[in-house]
Amino acid sequence: MREILMILLGAVLINNFVLIKFMGICPFLGVSKKLDSAVGMSVAVIFVMTIATAVTYPIYTYLLYPNFAYLQTLVFILVIAALVQLVEIVLKKYIPALHATLGVYLPLITTNCAVLGVTILNIDEGYTYFQSIINSIGAGVGFLVAMVLFNGVRQRIEGNDIPKTFQGLPSTLIAASIVSLAFMGFSGVVEGLFG
Protein backbone atom coordinates (compact mmCIF):
# COMPACT_ATOMS: atom_id res chain seq x y z
CA MET A 1 0.00 0.00 0.00
CA ARG A 2 2.78 2.37 0.97
CA GLU A 3 4.60 1.55 -2.24
CA ILE A 4 1.54 2.24 -4.37
CA LEU A 5 1.01 5.59 -2.69
CA MET A 6 4.67 6.45 -3.22
CA ILE A 7 4.48 5.68 -6.92
CA LEU A 8 1.19 7.51 -7.32
CA LEU A 9 2.21 10.66 -5.44
CA GLY A 10 5.63 10.55 -7.03
CA ALA A 11 4.11 10.51 -10.51
CA VAL A 12 1.65 13.30 -9.72
CA LEU A 13 3.92 15.72 -7.90
CA ILE A 14 7.62 14.93 -8.10
CA ASN A 15 7.97 13.47 -11.55
CA ASN A 16 5.15 15.50 -13.02
CA PHE A 17 5.29 14.77 -16.73
CA VAL A 18 4.57 18.28 -17.88
CA LEU A 19 6.26 20.44 -15.30
CA ILE A 20 9.30 18.36 -14.36
CA LYS A 21 9.92 16.04 -17.28
CA PHE A 22 8.71 18.56 -19.87
CA MET A 23 6.67 16.10 -21.89
CA GLY A 24 3.34 16.92 -23.49
CA ILE A 25 4.09 20.64 -23.61
CA CYS A 26 2.07 21.00 -26.82
CA PRO A 27 -1.35 20.26 -25.29
CA PHE A 28 -0.21 21.94 -22.08
CA LEU A 29 0.13 25.26 -23.94
CA GLY A 30 -2.48 24.54 -26.57
CA VAL A 31 -5.58 23.55 -24.62
CA SER A 32 -5.03 25.12 -21.22
CA LYS A 33 -6.87 28.29 -22.18
CA LYS A 34 -10.31 27.07 -21.18
CA LEU A 35 -10.99 24.99 -18.09
CA ASP A 36 -13.46 22.57 -19.67
CA SER A 37 -11.21 21.74 -22.63
CA ALA A 38 -8.22 21.40 -20.26
CA VAL A 39 -10.13 18.90 -18.12
CA GLY A 40 -11.45 17.06 -21.18
CA MET A 41 -7.96 16.70 -22.59
CA SER A 42 -6.56 15.55 -19.25
CA VAL A 43 -9.23 12.91 -18.74
CA ALA A 44 -8.49 11.59 -22.22
CA VAL A 45 -4.76 11.52 -21.36
CA ILE A 46 -5.35 9.56 -18.13
CA PHE A 47 -7.50 7.12 -20.07
CA VAL A 48 -5.05 6.60 -22.92
CA MET A 49 -1.96 6.43 -20.70
CA THR A 50 -3.48 3.65 -18.60
CA ILE A 51 -4.66 1.61 -21.57
CA ALA A 52 -1.41 2.14 -23.47
CA THR A 53 0.63 0.89 -20.54
CA ALA A 54 -1.65 -2.08 -20.04
CA VAL A 55 -1.04 -3.17 -23.62
CA THR A 56 2.58 -2.18 -24.28
CA TYR A 57 4.00 -3.67 -21.09
CA PRO A 58 3.22 -7.31 -21.98
CA ILE A 59 4.32 -6.73 -25.57
CA TYR A 60 7.69 -5.55 -24.37
CA THR A 61 8.10 -8.18 -21.69
CA TYR A 62 7.09 -11.22 -23.71
CA LEU A 63 7.90 -10.26 -27.28
CA LEU A 64 10.66 -7.68 -27.47
CA TYR A 65 12.73 -8.32 -24.37
CA PRO A 66 15.67 -8.98 -24.37
CA ASN A 67 16.75 -9.35 -28.00
CA PHE A 68 14.68 -6.64 -29.68
CA ALA A 69 14.48 -4.00 -26.96
CA TYR A 70 15.66 -1.43 -29.48
CA LEU A 71 12.36 -1.86 -31.33
CA GLN A 72 10.34 -0.54 -28.40
CA THR A 73 9.88 3.06 -29.64
CA LEU A 74 8.71 1.93 -33.05
CA VAL A 75 6.42 -0.81 -31.81
CA PHE A 76 4.99 1.29 -28.98
CA ILE A 77 4.05 4.15 -31.31
CA LEU A 78 2.40 1.69 -33.66
CA VAL A 79 0.51 -0.07 -30.90
CA ILE A 80 -0.59 3.11 -29.13
CA ALA A 81 -1.85 4.69 -32.35
CA ALA A 82 -3.83 1.60 -33.31
CA LEU A 83 -5.13 1.22 -29.77
CA VAL A 84 -6.41 4.76 -29.52
CA GLN A 85 -8.19 4.37 -32.83
CA LEU A 86 -9.80 1.18 -31.63
CA VAL A 87 -10.85 2.75 -28.35
CA GLU A 88 -12.36 5.64 -30.26
CA ILE A 89 -14.37 3.35 -32.51
CA VAL A 90 -15.64 1.33 -29.56
CA LEU A 91 -16.49 4.43 -27.52
CA LYS A 92 -18.37 5.95 -30.44
CA LYS A 93 -20.51 2.86 -30.66
CA TYR A 94 -21.20 2.08 -27.02
CA ILE A 95 -20.58 5.22 -24.95
CA PRO A 96 -21.39 8.13 -27.29
CA ALA A 97 -21.63 10.52 -24.33
CA LEU A 98 -18.02 9.86 -23.30
CA HIS A 99 -16.95 9.97 -26.94
CA ALA A 100 -18.54 13.40 -27.31
CA THR A 101 -16.82 14.59 -24.12
CA LEU A 102 -13.35 13.42 -25.11
CA GLY A 103 -14.10 14.55 -28.65
CA VAL A 104 -11.17 15.67 -30.72
CA TYR A 105 -8.67 15.15 -27.88
CA LEU A 106 -8.69 11.40 -28.13
CA PRO A 107 -7.07 11.17 -31.59
CA LEU A 108 -4.94 14.21 -30.77
CA ILE A 109 -3.08 12.46 -27.98
CA THR A 110 -2.26 9.46 -30.14
CA THR A 111 1.06 11.05 -30.90
CA ASN A 112 1.49 12.82 -27.58
CA CYS A 113 5.02 12.25 -26.31
CA ALA A 114 3.78 12.05 -22.72
CA VAL A 115 1.86 8.87 -23.56
CA LEU A 116 4.83 7.28 -25.28
CA GLY A 117 7.06 8.59 -22.48
CA VAL A 118 5.11 6.97 -19.70
CA THR A 119 5.11 3.56 -21.39
CA ILE A 120 8.86 3.64 -21.98
CA LEU A 121 9.71 5.06 -18.54
CA ASN A 122 7.62 2.34 -16.85
CA ILE A 123 9.95 -0.20 -18.41
CA ASP A 124 13.12 1.78 -17.72
CA GLU A 125 12.14 2.06 -14.06
CA GLY A 126 11.73 -1.70 -13.86
CA TYR A 127 8.19 -1.55 -12.52
CA THR A 128 5.97 -4.62 -12.37
CA TYR A 129 2.77 -4.71 -14.39
CA PHE A 130 0.64 -3.47 -11.51
CA GLN A 131 3.12 -0.75 -10.57
CA SER A 132 3.25 0.37 -14.19
CA ILE A 133 -0.50 0.82 -14.29
CA ILE A 134 -0.42 2.82 -11.06
CA ASN A 135 2.39 4.98 -12.40
CA SER A 136 0.46 5.64 -15.61
CA ILE A 137 -2.64 6.72 -13.71
CA GLY A 138 -0.44 8.93 -11.53
CA ALA A 139 1.21 10.47 -14.58
CA GLY A 140 -2.21 11.18 -16.09
CA VAL A 141 -3.48 12.76 -12.88
CA GLY A 142 -0.28 14.81 -12.75
CA PHE A 143 -1.07 16.04 -16.25
CA LEU A 144 -4.57 16.97 -15.08
CA VAL A 145 -3.19 18.85 -12.07
CA ALA A 146 -0.71 20.75 -14.23
CA MET A 147 -3.38 21.63 -16.81
CA VAL A 148 -5.92 22.85 -14.27
CA LEU A 149 -3.35 24.86 -12.29
CA PHE A 150 -1.94 26.43 -15.41
CA ASN A 151 -5.42 27.24 -16.68
CA GLY A 152 -5.90 29.33 -13.55
CA VAL A 153 -2.57 31.07 -14.13
CA ARG A 154 -3.44 31.82 -17.74
CA GLN A 155 -6.80 33.27 -16.86
CA ARG A 156 -5.08 35.65 -14.47
CA ILE A 157 -2.65 36.65 -17.22
CA GLU A 158 -5.38 37.21 -19.82
CA GLY A 159 -6.98 40.21 -18.17
CA ASN A 160 -3.74 42.06 -17.59
CA ASP A 161 -2.00 44.77 -19.49
CA ILE A 162 1.11 43.01 -20.79
CA PRO A 163 3.88 44.81 -22.72
CA LYS A 164 3.50 44.14 -26.41
CA THR A 165 6.72 42.09 -26.69
CA PHE A 166 5.48 39.67 -24.04
CA GLN A 167 1.91 39.27 -25.23
CA GLY A 168 0.74 35.79 -26.12
CA LEU A 169 3.22 32.95 -26.12
CA PRO A 170 6.20 34.64 -24.38
CA SER A 171 4.23 35.51 -21.25
CA THR A 172 2.66 32.03 -21.31
CA LEU A 173 6.05 30.33 -21.50
CA ILE A 174 7.46 32.47 -18.70
CA ALA A 175 4.44 31.65 -16.56
CA ALA A 176 4.87 27.95 -17.37
CA SER A 177 8.51 28.05 -16.28
CA ILE A 178 7.55 29.68 -12.98
CA VAL A 179 4.87 27.04 -12.35
CA SER A 180 7.49 24.41 -13.20
CA LEU A 181 9.93 25.94 -10.71
CA ALA A 182 7.23 25.82 -8.06
CA PHE A 183 6.75 22.11 -8.71
CA MET A 184 10.47 21.48 -8.27
CA GLY A 185 9.89 22.36 -4.65
CA PHE A 186 8.09 19.03 -4.27
CA SER A 187 11.24 16.99 -4.82
CA GLY A 188 11.96 14.93 -1.75
CA VAL A 189 8.52 15.43 -0.26
CA VAL A 190 7.35 11.87 -0.89
CA GLU A 191 10.57 10.35 0.48
CA GLY A 192 10.11 12.60 3.51
CA LEU A 193 6.55 11.38 3.98
CA PHE A 194 7.06 7.66 3.49
CA GLY A 195 10.77 7.11 3.81
Residues that bind another protein (CB under 8 A): 59, 63-64, 67-68, 71, 74-75, 78-79, 81-82, 85-86, 89-90, 92-94, 96, 159-161
Q: How far is the CB of 163 from another protein (least distance, A)?
A: 12
Q: How far is the CB of 90 from another protein (least distance, A)?
A: 6
User: What letter represents residue 177's amino acid?
Assistant: S
**C-beta of 92 vs 173, nearer to another protein:** 92
Q: How far is the CB of 136 from another protein (least distance, A)?
A: 20
**C-beta of 94 vs 195, nearer to another protein:** 94
Q: How far apart are CA 116 and CA 161, in angstroms?
A: 39
Q: How many alpha carbons fall within 13 Å on the CB side of residue 155?
A: 10
**C-beta of 161 vs 192, nearer to another protein:** 161
Task: Tell me whether residue 81 is exposed, middle or buried, using C-beta atoms within 10 angstroms of its C-beta: 0 to 12, 13 to 18, 19 or more.
Answer: middle
Q: How far apart are CA 175 and CA 16, in angstroms?
A: 17
CB 72, CB 123: distance < 8 Å: yes
Q: How far is the CB of 104 from another protein (least distance, A)?
A: 11
Q: How far is the CB of 86 from another protein (least distance, A)?
A: 5
**C-beta of 95 vs 193, nearer to another protein:** 95
**C-beta of 119 vs 131, nearer to another protein:** 119
**C-beta of 156 vs 182, nearer to another protein:** 156
CB 24, CB 18: distance < 8 Å: yes
At CB < 8 A and 24+ separation, what contacts does 36-39 make? 37/105, 38/147, 38/148, 38/150, 38/151, 39/144, 39/147, 39/148
Q: How far is the CB of 192 from another protein (least distance, A)?
A: 41
